[in-house]
């Protein structure tokens, strides 16, 4: 009987030592992907939803979004309306929500029309941030973008400087779009309060389109012979106005301040057609949008709660990506090297 017990003991000991050797010690295999810093997975899909997806303006935003995704090791998708059509954007957004992505960054074409869809996403537990164009009444967690009112102010001060604080100016903008309206208001109120000798004589709709803006500029030039300056709140519009000036031969007579820094705009600034352009932190918009979404998705922020329940914002609710003025003097820096 003692012998038997001894034998059992040996068998059990051998078994244990074997398992120890094989599985306790063997399991200490190092993983290839070291968990350093913030690290997501390729399964997480963050979606950027905007409108007029093909325009150059978004390319920098998307680049920021992509760069952040590369750093965090997550995947992204770029969606939005192909046309300047709010219904299309809503449909696209609904489609995106249905696929339950890890986060959505939205640039709203209309400040209110998207609220319902945005709230639906937030209710579904999808982190949503707004960039570039806000929808202030929605439940989105944050807005990352240019303080458009301030951008308008900046443009107004530059315009005043260019015109010697006097003369008639006009605005070509995108009506019904929050950010453009804010730029316009910032511009207008600054002119009114700071520069009494200047007047804003007209506000035209450029429809965010080169051709429409050109037409609008031609119309303005014909309508207001004393017009000294034009502020265009949008990139394509700036180029359109530039073309109008060239075709009308009024390049030297009008000071035009454009917006954004696409190749065409920069070329026109360089050649002097446009006097200046306002540059936004577009890359930052994309980059910080993804960062915020990532933080929300991974619940890296304190308090971990939703805005709706406690009223405490888990993230900075507003990030100003800033603006600066590009003129002929510093335009070279804005070209890609």
Token pair for 99: 């696929």
Q: Which of residues 176-215 bind other proteins (CB under 8 A)?
A: 210-211, 214
- Comparing CB distances to other proteins, the nearer of 8 and 318 is 8
5 binds other proteins (CB under 8 A): no
243 binds other proteins (CB under 8 A): yes
Among 49, 52, 269, 331, binds other proteins (CB under 8 A): 52
Task: Tell me which stretch binds other proteins (CB under 8 A): 65-73, 134-142, 217-225, 317-325.
Answer: 65-73
Distance CA 252, CA 66 (A): 41
Q: How far is the CB of 63 from other proteins (least distance, A)?
A: 5
Burial of 23 (0-12, 13-18, 19+ CB in 10 A): exposed
54 binds other proteins (CB under 8 A): yes
- Taking the CB of residue 40, how many other CB atoms lie within 10 A of it? 18
- Residue 195 φ then ψ, to 5°: -125, 80
Helix (H, G, I), strand (E, B) or coil at 94: helix
Among 9, 15, 124, 175, binds other proteins (CB under 8 A): 15
Q: How far is the CB of 72 from other proteins (least distance, A)?
A: 11
Distance CA 158, CA 149 (A): 14
55 binds other proteins (CB under 8 A): yes
78 binds other proteins (CB under 8 A): yes
66 binds other proteins (CB under 8 A): yes
Q: What is the contact mask toward other proteins in residues 21 to 40, using x (rule: CB under 8 A)?
A: -xx--x--x-xxxx------
Instruction: Decide: 17 and 25 in contact? Cβ < 8 Å.
Output: no
Which helix (H) or strand (E) segment holds residue 78: the answer is strand 75-81
Among 9, 17, 18, 123, binds other proteins (CB under 8 A): 18
- Give the neighbor-by-neighbor strand order of the sheet with 75-81: 75-81, 45-51, 103-106, 128-131, 142-145, 318-320
Task: Tell me which stretch binds other proteins (CB under 8 A): 75-83, 86-94, 139-147, 320-328.
Answer: 75-83
Residue 183: name the closest of 229, 205, 151 by CA. Answer: 151
Among 77, 110, 248, 320, binds other proteins (CB under 8 A): 77
Which region, left, alpha or beta, applies to residue 38 given φ > 0 means left and ψ of -120 to 50 means alpha? beta
2 binds other proteins (CB under 8 A): no
What separation, in Å, do the N-terminal and C-terminal C-alpha atoms of the chain show? Answer: 88
Helix (H, G, I), strand (E, B) or coil at 227: strand
Among 24, 42, 98, 304, binds other proteins (CB under 8 A): 42
Q: What is the contact mask toward other proteins in residues 248 to 267, using x (rule: CB under 8 A)?
A: --------------xx----
Among 46, 60, 111, 280, binds other proteins (CB under 8 A): 60
- Taking the CB of residue 203, how many other CB atoms lie within 10 A of it? 18
Residues that bind other proteins (CB under 8 A): 4, 7-8, 11-12, 14-15, 18-19, 22-23, 26, 29, 31-34, 42-43, 52-56, 59-60, 62-63, 66, 69-70, 73, 75-78, 82, 210-211, 214, 243, 247, 262-263, 336-337
């Amino acid at each position: 009987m003692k012998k038997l017990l001894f034998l059992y003991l040996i068998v059990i000991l051998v078994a244990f030592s074997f398992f120890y050797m094989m599985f306790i010690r063997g399991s200490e295999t190092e993983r290839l992907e070291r968990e350093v810093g913030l690290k997501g997975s390729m399964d997480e899909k963050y979606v950027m939803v905007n409108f007029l997806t093909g325009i150059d303006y978004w390319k920098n935003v998307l680049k920021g979004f992509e760069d952040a995704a590369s750093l965090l090791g997550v995947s992204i998708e770029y969606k939005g309306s192909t046309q300047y059509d709010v219904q299309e954007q809503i449909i696209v957004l609904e489609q995106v929500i249905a696929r339950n992505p890890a986060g959505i960054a939205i640039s709203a074409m209309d400040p209110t029309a998207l609220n319902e869809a945005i709230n639906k996403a937030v209710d579904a537990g999808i982190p949503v941030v707004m960039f570039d164009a806000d929808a202030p009444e929605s439940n989105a967690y944050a807005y990352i973008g240019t303080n458009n009112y301030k951008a308008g102010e900046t443009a107004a001060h530059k315009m005043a400087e260019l015109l010697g604080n006097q003369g008639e100016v006009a605005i070509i903008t995108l009506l019904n779009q929050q950010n453009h309206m804010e730029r316009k208001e910032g511009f207008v109120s600054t002119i009114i309060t700071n520069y009494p000798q200047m007047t804003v004589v007209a506000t035209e709709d450029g429809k965010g389109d080169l051709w429409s803006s050109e037409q609008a500029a031609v119309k303005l030039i014909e309508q207001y012979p004393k017009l000294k300056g034009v502020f265009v709140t949008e990139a394509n519009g700036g180029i359109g106005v530039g073309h109008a000036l060239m075709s009308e031969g009024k390049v030297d007579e009008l000071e035009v301040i454009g917006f954004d820094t696409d190749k065409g705009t920069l070329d026109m600034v360089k050649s002097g057609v446009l006097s200046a352009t306002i540059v936004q932190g577009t890359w930052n918009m994309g980059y910080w949008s993804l960062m915020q979404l990532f933080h929300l998705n991974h619940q890296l922020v304190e308090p971990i709660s939703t805005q709706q329940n406690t009223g405490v914002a888990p993230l900075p609710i507003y990030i100003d990506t800033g603006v600066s003025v590009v003129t002929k003097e510093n335009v070279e820096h804005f070209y890609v090297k």
